[in-house]
Amino acid sequence: MAKDVAIIGVGQSAFVRGYEGSIRELSFEAYREAMQDAGIAASDLDASIVCSAPEYDKQRSPSGLIAEYLGLNPQPTFVVESICSSSTTGLRTAYALIKSGLHDAVAVIGFQKMSEISSADSQERMGRGADIMWESPFGTTMPAYYAMHARSHFETYGSTEKDLAQIRVKAAKYGQLNEKAVYRKDLDMDKVLESDFVASPLKRFDCCANADGSSCIILASAEKAKEFSTKPVWILGLGSATASFSMTGRETYSGLESVRQAARQAYTMSSMKPEDIDVAEVHDCFTIAELMAYENLGFAEPGRGVELIRNGETYLEGKIPVNVDGGLLSKGHPIGATGGSQVRTIVLQLRGEAGEIQVPGAEVGLVHNVGGVGIYGNVIILGS
């Protein structure tokens, strides 16, 4: 496997329900942390990529605004968007720019300030991440879409509401340890199962919360990584795929084909297999999304993902620790920043800097980031 592009710096703001500053100030919080982590100056960067889903704030073309505020002019800056997977799509774009030789060091900055609009307006915008002619006009929302997946998984494989609740209990256990998470409270099975339905069979605690936040990832060529960093984390494999925009074009609802395809690509590129992964961050926007990820990523056969959570195999001490930073269910989900936050967690794990949630001896990590209802699927494999 080639070690041509490395991550040399990572940063993240606290994820909060109502950030009081502007989007440029929010982006700066993650950028400052990442640049301090990398130990470089703005003049060492060749380009920046800003990742954000539109329509949550009034600013059009935020990349120019943010690049100027961060002192990155006159380097080129770009906007990348694939809804909830925007910042891992940004990472893939930065990787390609560096591999091509066009740039040597690129900052990928993801942000979202979702509190500028109401929760109802936010749900309406999320719904428009699907087909606006044949689906969203009829009131579809993200909880309803994922409830459809949950119901299909239940009927196809026999999984239950208790299995989903166990995933939320795990998220809460580790979310308490994450100082940057929105939700830092313990939850037991009864509290999860007794919470109100949002879209049956999904309940309130099966759903992640909207949040404001930012993330920043600094990528560099092998030559620059060795010059700048004593602790580079290498990009070993990348996979990306898209699925039918309309749900009527899907062959199955018990999994996400875009993720399966992206995972195959990432494993092939890295010469890795699912059993080689030491720690994973998966896109648990809903508890069912994490369960499907176990199977779509090859950690379990279809229908056998429930055995991983029932047997504690996705806990810190288990065979394949998953979302030991609390995941989206605890951290919150500031759309454009989410993927970068997931990457940050894995980078810290592979550098042995994850503190109380450190997976002993972690050398290979995986990030799984989904846009919309599996419309976009990104999988990244990283190595120390």
Give the contacts of 175 (CB within 8 A, at least 6 positions apart). 181, 183, 184, 185, 325, 326, 327, 329, 330, 331
Q: What are 112-151's pLDDT values in tens digits?
A: 999 987 777 777 777 776 777 777 777 788 999 999 999 9
Please confirm, yes or no, whether 208 is among the known catalytic residues: no
**Per-residue pLDDT tens digits for 337-379:** 999 999 999 999 999 999 999 999 999 999 999 999 999 999 9
Range of the domain at 353: 139-208+236-383
Three-state DSSP at 299 gives coil
Q: Confirm if 264 and 270 have CB atoms less than 8 A apart.
A: no
Specify the pLDDT at position 1: 60
Q: Which of 234, 269, 292 is the last residue of a domain?
A: 234
At 58 the pLDDT is 79
Model confidence pLDDT, tens digit, residues 236-288: 999 999 999 888 888 889 999 999 999 999 999 999 999 999 999 999 999 99
Q: How many domains does the chain have?
A: 2
213-241 core/surface letters (b: 16 or more CB in 10 A; e: else): bbbbbbbbbbebbeebbebbbbbbbbbbb
Residue 127 within a domain? no
For residues 99 and 143, membership in a common domain is answered with no
Please indicate, yes or no, whether the overall pTM of this predicted structure exceeds 0.85. yes
274 neighbors 256 (Cβ within 8 angstroms): no
Is residue 134 in some structural domain?
Answer: no
Q: Which of 103, 283, 333, 368 is catalytic?
A: 333
User: Could you tell me if 246 and 344 lie in one domain?
Assistant: yes
DSSP 8-state secondary structure symbol assigned to residue 210: B
Q: What is the CATH number of the domain that holds 30?
A: 3.40.47.10
Spatial CA neighbour of 371 closest among 145, 108, 214:
145
Q: Does residue 47 share a domain with residue 86?
A: yes
On whether residue 126 sits in a domain, the answer given is no
Q: 83 and 174: one domain?
A: no
Q: Does residue 333 have an active-site annotation?
A: yes
- Residue 123 domain-assigned? no
Structural domain contains residue 131: no
Report whether pLDDT(31) > 80.
yes
Which residue among the candidates 84, 208, 216, 285 is catalytic per the annotation?
A: 84
Q: Is residue 190 part of a domain?
A: yes
